[in-house]
Copies of this chain bind each other. A is one copy, B any other.
């Protein structure tokens, strides 16, 4: 799909990246508009916008496709403004993180196709925009009964041309899905780090005593408040539903702890292992064969290059590779995921030959 004339309404990170990715895919001319002049200038500087417009109407006047990339709180109003200002030939899409509000704001217009690229970037502003932002990402599309099938095909093809994988979903289901897979995790990360931060136990700071598990679980805590306040408020209904179910699951766990119910805990942990395996099954062809190598490495330049070269030279395929930096004095822990026990042991021997101590273990643990 080649959109010759694209309007981007809201030229922050996502809008400008849509423009750059569209230009990468074909000869697209981009007209941009942003209520903040600085944001529009930044997008032009980045080469994302060819013609800055002075109004929504000017931007969409001759567009084939208008992509609305406004903040969640302004999204519904902006989509309505674009639908009103644009000619009938113009298809209107958006990229907001929640879909119920904006889809109902479109008032059943046949020209509107809602969407949400899941690219998880924390950056802001067109200066960070890149044509590669959507490569490999899921891009939810939320067509309604009223949506013109031709327009849906256009947006579907456009999204694919940006490098993303379009996935159709009902807007209500979308918002419940992201409440469960994104907004609930974000809320729990904030709750957890605030609980650890609010306590001081016998002179010890829990945050200072944090191990890898707490760090992993709070990596997304405190994320961009300008984006997240709006998301939490806009999706408050589905998020409260998810929190309510979290509370009911919490009840059962607390009961098991109170009565010392080892049987419940065994079943509960077993279920968690199974669910995690299913989640990994999407990312890896054979999650049960995944082996984890843990290596303690000094904080010294060249260490990572030495390790990746050694494994690369022996054609050992690295599935995941993570360095968790602990401190300049103590060094860090490197975790490498490799499929297959014999491959993992071959890798361990290579690293041991370089003088590292290596601990090998199956990723999914022993059931």
Known: A243-B253, A308-B305, A365-B222. A266 touches B229 (CB 8 A): yes
**Which residue on chain B has the smallest CB distance to residue A218?**
B276
For chain A, residues 153 to 187, give those with C-beta under 8 angstroms from any C-beta of chain B: 165, 167, 169-170, 172-173, 176-177, 180-182, 184-187
Q: Which of A211, A236, A249, A307 has the most chain B CB within a 10 Å cutoff? A: A211
How far apart are the CA atoms of A226 and B262 in the complex, in Å?
11
Contact B265 A233 (CB under 8 A): yes
**Which residue on chain B has the smallest CB distance to residue A328?**
B285
Q: Does A214 contact B (CB under 8 A)?
A: yes
Contact A221 B257 (CB under 8 A): no
How far apart are the CA atoms of A166 and B209 in the complex, in Å?
12
**Which residue on chain B has the smallest CB distance to residue A267?**
B225
Taking CB atoms, residues of chain B closer than 8 Å to A242 are 195
Taking CB atoms, residues of chain B closer than 8 Å to A181 are 196, 206, 209-211, 213-214
Taking CB atoms, residues of chain B closer than 8 Å to A360 are 123, 128
Stretch at the interface among A39-47, A51-59, A78-86, A296-304: A296-304
Q: Does A104 contact B (CB under 8 A)?
A: no
Q: Which of A177, A260, A317 has the most chain B CB within a 10 Å cutoff? A: A177
Taking CB atoms, residues of chain B closer than 8 Å to A196 are 180-181, 275, 279
Number of copies: 2
Taking CB atoms, residues of chain B closer than 8 Å to A131 are 357
A20 CB to nearest chain B CB (Å): 9
Q: Which one, B123, B188, B208, contacts A192 given CB within 8 A?
A: B188
Contact A121 B294 (CB under 8 A): yes
Known: A213-B185, A216-B219. A321 touches B319 (CB 8 A): no
Q: Which one, B132, B215, B311, B364, contacts A296 given CB within 8 A?
A: B132
Contact A210 B170 (CB under 8 A): no
Q: Does A145 contact B (CB under 8 A)?
A: no
How many residues on the A side are at the interface (Cβ–Cβ under 8 A)?
Answer: 144
For chain A, residues 306 to 354, give those with C-beta under 8 angstroms from any C-beta of chain B: 307-309, 311-312, 315, 317-328, 330-333, 337
How far apart are the CA atoms of A122 and B258 in the complex, in Å?
26
How far apart are the CA atoms of A288 and B214 in the complex, in Å?
20
Contact A123 B304 (CB under 8 A): no
Taking CB atoms, residues of chain B closer than 8 Å to A225 are 265-266, 269-270, 273, 365, 367
A138 CB to nearest chain B CB (Å): 7
A276 CB to nearest chain B CB (Å): 5
A54 CB to nearest chain B CB (Å): 28
Taking CB atoms, residues of chain B closer than 8 Å to A322 are 320-323
How far apart are the CA atoms of A361 and B221 in the complex, in Å?
16
For chain A, residues 267 to 283, give those with C-beta under 8 angstroms from any C-beta of chain B: 268-279, 282-283
Q: Does A60 contact B (CB under 8 A)?
A: no
Q: Which one, B177, B192, B305, contacts A185 given CB within 8 A?
A: B192
Interface residues of A (CB under 8 A from B): 118, 120-124, 128, 130-133, 135-136, 138, 165, 167, 169-170, 172-173, 176-177, 180-182, 184-197, 199, 201-226, 228-229, 232-233, 236, 239-240, 242-243, 245-247, 249-250, 253-254, 257-258, 260, 262, 265-266, 268-279, 282-285, 292, 294, 296, 301-302, 304-305, 307-309, 311-312, 315, 317-328, 330-333, 337, 356-361, 364-367
